[in-house]
Chains A and B, each alone.
Chain A
Amino acid sequence: MKVLLVDDEKELVSTLAERLSLRDIEADWVTTGEEAIKCVELKRYDVAVLDIKMPRIGGIELKKKLEEKTPDLKYIFITGHGSEDDFMTASNETGAGYYLVKPVNIDELIRKMKEILLNK
C-alpha cells in the first residue's frame, strides 16, 4: 500500500509518514498541492490523505486536480475544523469519501485506508 500525505504542517505530516513507515506502510509526504501533483506524475499511489485547508490549493480542489492525472487514486480528508458539517460539505462536493478530524488517531487512519482499498 502506497500512501501520499499532503498537509501544510510539515512537522505533522512528516511524523505521520514516519509512523506509517514504522507500520510497514510506504508513505510519502509533501506540504503543498503543487508538490503533490508532481509526486503523482512520478509515482503511483493507492491512497492520498489531504488536509482540507491549505494555502493556495485546498484539499478539495487538489482532489479534483489529482483525479485528472490518476483516476484510480482513493482519498481521505483530514481537517482541523472539527465538525460534522465540514464532512457534509466535503462529502457533497466530492462524492463519497472518508474524513478524519485532527488530531488524528493513527490506528483509525490505517483502518480507514484498508477499508477504502477493500471497497475498490
Chain B
Amino acid sequence: MVMLEKLKPKFWDYQDVAAGPYKHLFNFRRIWELAVMLVSLVALIPLVSITLIDYGVTQHSVESEVLLRTARLVSNTWRTVSFFLAQRISALDFVVRDNSYASLRDPERLSGILENLKQGFGGFVDLGVIDSTGRQITYAGPYKLEGIDYHDQGWFKEVADKGVNVSDVFMGFRRTPHIVIAVRHQLPNGSFYILRATIDTDRFNELLADLEVSGQGDSFLINKEGILQTPSRDYGKVLDKIPLPVPDFSPKTRVYEEEYPGDKHLVIGYAYIHDTPFILMIVKQKDELMKPWQKTRIQLIGFLVASMIIIVVVVLSVATYLVNRILIADQKRIMTLHEVEYSNKMASIGRLAAGVAHEINNPLAIINEKIGLIKDIFTIKDEFKGNRKLMDLIDSALSSVDRCGAITKRLLNFARHLDVKIQTVNLEEVISDVLGFLSKEAEYRSIVVSVNVPGDIPRFESDRGKLQQIFLNIVNNAFAAVKDGGKLDISAKREGTNLISVTFTDDGCGIPASDLERVFEPFFSTKTQQGGTGLGLSITYGLIQELGGNIGVQSEVGKGSSFIVTIPLKMGKKEK
C-alpha cells in the first residue's frame, strides 16, 4: 500500500478549485484512464490478433510439413519394398522361361540356378519345382524337402489360379520366418508346374531397419490381418498382432493421425503393396515431430508477452507524463488568474491610497500654513512672546502635521510604484518604505526589526513596485511566524559583480523539512483553516522570477526561517 501511495501520480486526487461548472474537464484521473485504455486497446488488439493468426498459420504449416514428410517417406519405402519383391518375381519368371521343365527337374541344374540367384540377387534360401498335383518334384536348398505335397496349402491354390503368389511371413517347416514367392509356368500340353523360392526375411528387415525415421518413428510391414511381418521396435515381434487397427485399403499412400492409449498422439503413414499381402506402415510420435514448433511457439508467446508489457509500460508512463504536464499547465493557469487578480487588487488599493493621500495633503498643507502663521505672529509680535504654553501647543500641532505629511508621502510613494516599470532603485529606501507600513505592528508586538544594508550596495536597475511587493510579502510572512517580542533581521550583501542578496531571518516557528520544498508551490498552505490561499509565496516567487532573480529558503522548526532573495543589478531586456 505504501508503494502504491508513492507511485500515485500528483493528479490522481487533484481537484481544480477554479473549475466551477466545468469540473468534468479537469478530472485528470478520468483523462488519464481514458488515454491509457484507448491507446492500450489500439496498440494491443492488432498485436494480439496478428500473433494469434500467425500462431495458427505457423502451427498449421508445421503440421502439414510433418504429414507431407511422412507421406514422402512412406512412398519411397513402399517403392523400395515393391521393387525388392518385383525383382525377385521377375527373376523366377526369367528362370522358368529360360529353362525347360526337363532341365529344371534336374536337381543339379536347379542347385546351379539357386546358387546364381543367391549370388545375383541375394536373399534366396531354397528353390523347388512343384508339379500341377502339388508335389515337390525337385528341391535345391539346405533342407530335405523333396516329395512334400503342397496341394492343400492356400498359396498353392492361389498361384495355380493367378500365376504369381507372394505369401505372408510364416514359420513353415523351417521354424524361421520366411516368405515364399511362387510363379506358375504353363506347359504346352495344358498342364503347368510351379517354381517356388523361399526368401529370407532378414533382407526385408534390413530394408526397413535401415530407414531413418524421424520423431522416434517405427517402420514395419503387416499383413491384412494386422500380423507383423517384420519386427517392430515398439509394437511387437514378427507374427505378433499389432495393437493398432489395420488401416483401410487405399490404392495410394495415405497419412492419418491416431490417438494411441497412453496419451500418445501418433502420425501413421501406410501404403498397400500391390499383389502382395503386405501393408507398409510408418508410425511416428507427433509430439516428437512437433518439437521445432514448441520452440517457435515459446518464441511467439514470449514475443507477445514482452511486447504487451513494453506497450503497457510505455502507455502508462507516457499518459502519466502528459497528464502531469496538463496538471502543471492548469495550475499555472490558475496561478496566473490569481496573480492578475492580485495585481489588480494592489493597483486598486494603490489608486485609492494615492487619491486619499492627495486629498488629505492639500488641507494638511493649509493647516500647516495656518499654524505656521500663528506661530509666526506669536514669535514676531511682542505681546505673546514668552508664552511657553501656547508655543508648546503650536509646536505639537506642527509636529502632528509633519507626521501626517510623512504618512501621505509614504502612501503616495508606495502607490506610485505599483505601475512604474524599471527605474533606478535604492535598496535601503525600498526596505524602509516597506517597513514603514509595518512599523506600527512591529511596535505593538515588540518585534525587533534590524536592517543592515552595507555601503557597497549600489543603486541598481529594477522594478521598484515589484521589489516592494516581494519584500512586503516576505516581511508579512515573517511577522506571522514570529511570536510577540520576536526578531526579524534583514541584511543585504553583494554577490559578485552582478548580484545582490537580501536575507530575511526570523526567529519564528520555522517550516518542517517535508514542507520546505513545497512552500513556493501554488495553493500550498498550512493555514487554509485561517483563510490562507497558499498563494503569497508562490506569487512572490513569480515576481522574483520576473525580476530575473531567485529565492531560497532555509528553516528549522522552532528556530526560525531564512528567506534569501537574490536580485540581479541589471534587469534583462524582457519586460512584462
Binding site for B on A (CB under 8 A): 9, 11-12, 15-16, 18-19, 22-23, 80-83, 85, 101-104, 106
Report the bound CA distance from A56 to B420 in whole Å: 26
Interface centre among A19, A82, A104 (most CB of B within 10 A): A82
Residues of B within 8 A of A101 (CB): 405, 409
Report the bound CA distance from A90 to B413 in whole Å: 16
Report the bound CA distance from A18 to B381 in whole Å: 14
CB atoms of A19 and B365 under 8 A apart = no
Q: Can you list 29 residue pairs at the A/B interface with Cβ under 8 Å?
A: A9-B362, A11-B369, A11-B370, A12-B362, A12-B365, A12-B369, A15-B366, A15-B373, A19-B369, A19-B376, A22-B380, A80-B358, A80-B361, A80-B362, A80-B365, A81-B358, A81-B416, A82-B409, A82-B413, A83-B416, A101-B405, A101-B409, A102-B364, A103-B367, A103-B368, A103-B401, A103-B402, A103-B405, A106-B372
CB atoms of B412 and A103 under 8 A apart = no
Report the bound CA distance from A12 to B377 in whole Å: 16
Least Cβ–Cβ distance between B208 and chain A, in angstroms: 117
CB atoms of A82 and B361 under 8 A apart = yes
Output the nearest chain B residue to A15 by Cβ-Cβ distance: B369
- B561 on interface, CB distance cutoff 8 Å: no
Contacts A15-B369, A82-B361 known; 5 new A-B pairs at CB < 8 A = A12-B362, A15-B366, A15-B372, A83-B412, A103-B402
CB atoms of A83 and B365 under 8 A apart = no
* 8 nearest A-B residue pairs (beta carbon): A103-B368, A15-B369, A102-B365, A82-B409, A103-B365, A80-B361, A11-B366, A12-B366
Least Cβ–Cβ distance between A7 and chain B, in angstroms: 9
Residues of B within 8 A of A19 (CB): 369, 372-373, 376
Output the nearest chain B residue to A88 by Cβ-Cβ distance: B423
CB atoms of A16 and B380 under 8 A apart = no
- B408 on interface, CB distance cutoff 8 Å: yes
Question: Of residues 137 to 161 in B, which have CB atoms within 8 Å of A's CB atoms?
Answer: none
Given that A80-B358, A83-B416, A102-B361 are contacting pairs, would A22 and B376 also be in contact in the complex, using a CB cutoff of 8 Å? yes
Residues of B within 8 A of A18 (CB): 373
CB atoms of B369 and A103 under 8 A apart = yes
Residues of B within 8 A of A106 (CB): 372, 376
Least Cβ–Cβ distance between A103 and chain B, in angstroms: 3
CB atoms of B413 and A83 under 8 A apart = yes
Output the nearest chain A residue to B414 by Cβ-Cβ distance: A83
CB atoms of B369 and A16 under 8 A apart = yes
Binding site for A on B (CB under 8 A): 358, 361-362, 364-370, 372-373, 376-377, 380, 401-402, 405, 408-409, 412-413, 416, 420, 423
Residues of A within 8 A of B365 (CB): 9, 12, 80, 102-104
Least Cβ–Cβ distance between B428 and chain A, in angstroms: 14
Residues of A within 8 A of B408 (CB): 82
Output the nearest chain B residue to A82 by Cβ-Cβ distance: B409
Least Cβ–Cβ distance between A16 and chain B, in angstroms: 5
Report the bound CA distance from A106 to B374 in whole Å: 13
Residues of B within 8 A of A22 (CB): 373, 376-377, 380
Residues of A within 8 A of B412 (CB): 81-83
Residues of A within 8 A of B401 (CB): 103
Report the bound CA distance from A11 to B409 in whole Å: 21
Report the bound CA distance from A83 to B416 in whole Å: 9
Report the bound CA distance from A82 to B357 in whole Å: 10
CB atoms of B373 and A102 under 8 A apart = no
Least Cβ–Cβ distance between B375 and chain A, in angstroms: 9
Report the bound CA distance from A11 to B368 in whole Å: 11
Output the nearest chain A residue to B377 by Cβ-Cβ distance: A22
Report the bound CA distance from A80 to B413 in whole Å: 12
Report the bound CA distance from A80 to B405 in whole Å: 10
Output the nearest chain A residue to B405 by Cβ-Cβ distance: A103
Least Cβ–Cβ distance between B372 and chain A, in angstroms: 6
CB atoms of B366 and A9 under 8 A apart = yes
* CB-contact partner of B370 in A15, A80, A85, under 8 A: A15
Residues of A within 8 A of B373 (CB): 15, 18-19, 22
Residues of B within 8 A of A23 (CB): 376
Report the bound CA distance from A28 to B48 in whole Å: 102
Residues of B within 8 A of A104 (CB): 365, 368-369
Output the nearest chain B residue to A8 by Cβ-Cβ distance: B362
Interface centre among B366, B408, B420 (most CB of A within 10 A): B366
Least Cβ–Cβ distance between A19 and chain B, in angstroms: 5
Output the nearest chain B residue to A22 by Cβ-Cβ distance: B376
Output the nearest chain A residue to B429 by Cβ-Cβ distance: A84
Least Cβ–Cβ distance between B462 and chain A, in angstroms: 15
Report the bound CA distance from A102 to B409 in whole Å: 9
